[in-house]
Amino acid sequence: MAINGIFEANCNALKSRNPNLAEIIFNLKNTDNSCYAAPVLSKTNELVPALKDGKALFSVYNPTRDADNFLHDIDLSEKQFIAVSALANGAHIKKALQHQNIHILVIEKNTESVADLFSHFDFTDILKNENFSLCCISELEPTFRNLYIPQLFGNFNYKVLRPWVQYNPEAEEQIQNILRNCLGNISADYSVQAHFAKVWQRNILRNLKTLSSLSTNSFDFPLGKRAAIIGAGPSLDGGIEFLKNNRENRYIIATDTAWRILLQNGITADAVVTIDGQNISYRHFIDKFPDSKTLFAADLCSHPAIAEKAQKNGNAVLFFASNHPLCLFAKQYAKEHNQYFPPEIDTTSGTVTVAALDFAVKSGFKEFELFGADFAYTNSKAYAKGSYLDPTFENDSTVINPKETAFNALMFRTPVIRMDESTITTDVMKRYASALDFYLQNCHAKLSVYKYSEGKVISIFEREHSDSEKNVPIFLPKTLYKSFDYADFKVRLLNLLENHDPALTAAILPLAAWCERTGLYKSSTDSIESVFDYAYKMAKK
């Protein structure tokens, strides 16, 4: 394809913001798949882009008026993130970008269409604008996920140019589906952040303080044993005797809910994994710890009283990190100061069973067993016998409302899905089960996974090969680093918060969601600086 001065200038402008897309466009051999024809001249002597069906994207009598009216139905006094199908000649985009509260994402059908437009229209000012982004449908999903942050951009709108939509109905359907799915996932993430972000913020800071006080030690796991991951599902009742009889050749890793159940049956876990940050999670550990043999592996987001109690009791404490942005900020601080920082464990599924399995994999074990990983209610039971709920519901039970009523209320608090005569599940537990399958399929380690079911241990997964670079145990001796300096970290954190430093914006985005839910912040109108102030007050306590 021919390269002219306008085309080259546009590619150079795009290169500073999206070098990959710029390179693809610049090296295209032809634009046969473009949806555009040569532009037409309007009555006002302006070039107007036209589609291959002959229709112009703006009025050929007064294209400026169309551009001026493009956002007529949007409240421009509030922050808006607007996705737009069709770059066209950019006139409508230039008008929109005159408003500081707006971020525009333009979606074009393909790179050939962009290249066609680049040959005829000067977009250099638009392409250099920090409030403008451009992508093609093939990259829409990752681009939109990375760009649209509700806490910063407020409202979302989708705008179209009608002639483009009518000419590209399949492309328009693709865009609609991608945006709908992305918004659903973003909304779910935002909802979780809105409910738990304040708790996470508190927990991370307190756990980092505990981390800084831990003595240096190494983690020498008995990798010749089979790692037994213990969930708290009803099927664990049938596996207790098996575990007792085969205890010696297993390294038992209990999830937080299952830890107490094992103790009730005379089994002390070698390790217990906890990821839940809510106050109720501490109830798993409210009993006196029987000894100091168990290793407590805790997410930095988990309830801080658990690690504090374990440390006081003399138990070894091993923290691991999630990808919470405040954890990522603390990790960067530790790296800059050659200080120890906990490795990352996969907690993205939200289920502690998968987190415990990932902990075992990253500790170097090769063989694994799953007990109580039901992700379902079986035989009219929510959990195996001996969880913290048993005494809780028993204490609240009456003749009219026995503890069985409370357990039924727990199981049927959301719509259920019947799997067979004795088993029901829910959408949440189905997602947990799918998360386990996804984890196993995408794990790079060499591993054999077995599951205890109906009195037998059966093989459910086998991977014979590994990616050696990704299969190295990550819990290395902390003596390789200086200890994490929480006091200095807190000074730096408070300084950045007090000065509303943009370097910390990502770290407080979850807290911004919580502030919006509680009415302390409105993303569509307020400055993020108010969230900085609230985070400063929290951190200073």
Asked which of 167, 188, 215 is the last residue of a domain, the reply is 167
Domain around 535: 486-540
- In a domain? residue 376: no
Give the DSSP letter string of 91-113. Answer: HHHHHHTTSTTEEEEEEES-HHH
Q: For the packed helices 486-498 and 169-213, what is the interaxial angle rounded to 10 degrees?
A: 130
DSSP H or E segment with residue 256 = helix 256-264
> Rounded to two decimals, what is the model's pTM?
0.84
- In a domain? residue 378: no
**What is the full per-residue pLDDT of the chain (541 aa) written as tens digits?**
556 889 999 999 999 889 999 999 999 888 889 999 999 988 888 888 999 999 999 888 888 888 888 888 888 889 999 999 999 999 899 988 988 889 999 999 999 999 999 999 999 999 999 999 999 999 999 999 999 999 999 999 999 999 999 999 999 999 999 999 999 999 988 999 999 999 999 999 999 999 999 875 667 899 999 999 999 888 888 889 999 999 999 999 999 989 989 998 999 999 999 999 887 777 778 777 888 899 999 999 999 999 999 999 999 999 999 999 999 999 999 999 999 899 999 998 888 999 999 999 999 899 999 998 887 777 666 667 766 555 554 445 554 555 455 545 555 556 766 767 767 677 777 888 888 889 999 888 888 888 888 778 888 888 887 776 666 667 655 556 788 999 999 999 999 999 999 999 999 999 999 999 999 999 999 999 999 999 999 999 8
Query: Is 40 within 8 Å of 50 (Cβ atoms)?
Result: yes
Query: Is 227 within 8 Å of 369 (Cβ atoms)?
Result: yes
Q: What pLDDT was estimated at residue 399?
A: 47
Q: For 198-218, b where at least 16 C-beta lie within 10 A, e where not — what string?
A: bbbbbbbbbbbbbbbebeeee
Q: How far apart are CA 140 and CA 153, in angstroms?
A: 18
- Distances in whole angstroms, Cα of residue 508 to Cα of each of 72, 197, 201, 496, 533: 34, 9, 9, 11, 11
Q: What pLDDT was estimated at residue 119?
A: 93
Helices vs. strands in the chain: H and E counts, helices first: 21, 17
The residues with which 251 forms a beta bridge, in sequence order, are: 227
The residues with which 226 forms a beta bridge, in sequence order, are: 250
Exposed / middle / buried, residue 260 (Cβ in 10 Å: 0-12, 13-18, 19+):
buried
Query: Is 162 within 8 Å of 172 (Cβ atoms)?
Result: no
- Distances in whole angstroms, Cα of residue 273 to Cα of each of 278, 307, 356, 387: 15, 11, 6, 15
Give the DSSP letter string of 386-403. Answer: TSTHHHHHHHH--SSS-H
Query: Is 235 within 8 Å of 452 (Cβ atoms)?
Result: yes
Residue with tokens 């990808």: 323
Q: What pLDDT was estimated at residue 468?
A: 63
Asked which of 167, 186, 221 is the last residue of a domain, the reply is 167
- In a domain? residue 531: yes
Q: How far apart are CA 156 and CA 179, in angstroms?
A: 11
**Displacement of CA 382 from its chain's centroid (Å):** 27
DSSP H or E segment with residue 196 = helix 169-213
Q: How far apart are CA 284 and CA 323, in angstroms?
A: 25
Torsion of CA 244, 248, 253, 257, to 10 degrees: 20
- In a domain? residue 290: no
Amino acid at 208: L
Number of domains in the chain: 2
Among 221, 219, 267, CA closest to 240: 267
Asked which of 150, 167, 184 is the last residue of a domain, the reply is 167
Q: How far apart are CA 255 and CA 293, in angstroms?
A: 16
Q: What pLDDT was estimated at residue 267?
A: 94
- In a domain? residue 92: yes
- In a domain? residue 85: yes
